[in-house]
Amino acid sequence: MRIATWNVNSIGARLPRFLPWLEEAAPDVVAVQETKTATFPAADVEALGYEVAHAGDGRWNGVAILSRVGLSDVDTVHPGHPEPRLVSAQCGPLHVTSVYVPNGRAVDDPHYLYKLDWFATLRERLERFDPAQPLVLMGDFNVARTDDDVWDRSRFVGSTHVTPAERTAMDALVEWGLVDVVPRPGKGDRPFTYWDYRAGMFHKDMGMRIDYVLATPAVTVQDAWVDREARKGTGPSDHAPVVVDITL
């Protein structure tokens, strides 16, 4: 079984790239973030054999799950947080949650506290499940778990994404019973998933690992990689997909 997660940074803008990627990569389940639309182009992906669960309300945020192995028990509720940043569903034998965690903006911004509260609610939500069941939580977490997950730690001093509180919030998810599936290295020695559009940062591999696949031990990973090819060319997202081959 192949699963993937990708922050597409607008499904409308990325659809001409997204559909060929679906056909080539052939994932069974895809978690999508930052769709930036109220209406997902379901017909286009349904033509490729996927069912769609989407939560979105317009220009910002938006998450989806695409599955060609079944889609049931769809849930988009994240108590106390009305923005469309979470969707979960049962995809055949695997329970899947796609998340787009708030950015946090700046450490002294109210949005930073909102981000930490969003994480706390996500951790509480895990109590619905059994860590022995096949489950994956994947998406854009807007956190670099370790210093190795940023290209230069000194450039992030005093900023979000690397603060102890954010990393602790991520670690709390793992400690519940999840494994951080670390992809094999990409261009350099680290599997970055996001690169700013500016100053040729992608080509210099000046990136961050902020897109994650967290899985219960019932999910056996055969291989995991960052699809850098999807970040190349004309009009890419600033994120690349993370692709994972698994058995249950």
Q: Residue 48: which of 26, 64, 32, 33 has the closest Cα?
A: 26
Does 64 map to a domain?
yes
Q: Angle of helix 110-125 relative to helix 164-177, nearest 10 degrees?
A: 10
Does 247 map to a domain?
no
Rounded CA-CA distance 217/132 in Å is 7
Does 86 map to a domain?
yes
pLDDT beneath 50: ranges in the chain:
none
Q: Residue 123: which of 161, 168, 90 has the closest Cα?
A: 168
Return the pLDDT at 47. 98
CATH number at 32 reads 3.60.10.10
Does 13 map to a domain?
yes
Contact between residue 140 and residue 104 where contact means Cβ atoms under 8 Å apart: no
Which two three-digit tokens encode residue 192?
A: 């970055």
Rounded CA-CA distance 152/157 in Å is 10
Does 246 map to a domain?
no
Contact between residue 33 and residue 67 where contact means Cβ atoms under 8 Å apart: no
Rounded CA-CA distance 208/17 in Å is 22
Return the pLDDT at 162. 97
Does 172 map to a domain?
yes
Return the pLDDT at 179. 98
Q: List the domain range (segments joined by +) for residue 151.
A: 2-239
DSSP-based three-state secondary structure for 234: coil
Does 245 map to a domain?
no
Return the pLDDT at 2. 98
Does 248 map to a domain?
no
Return the pLDDT at 199. 81
Which two three-digit tokens encode residue 3?
A: 């699963």
If one counts every other C-beta atom within 10 angstroms of the C-beta of residue 88, the result is 26
Return the pLDDT at 187. 87
**Domain count within the chain:** 1
Return the pLDDT at 118. 98
Rounded CA-CA distance 208/150 in Å is 4
Rounded CA-CA distance 128/146 in Å is 28
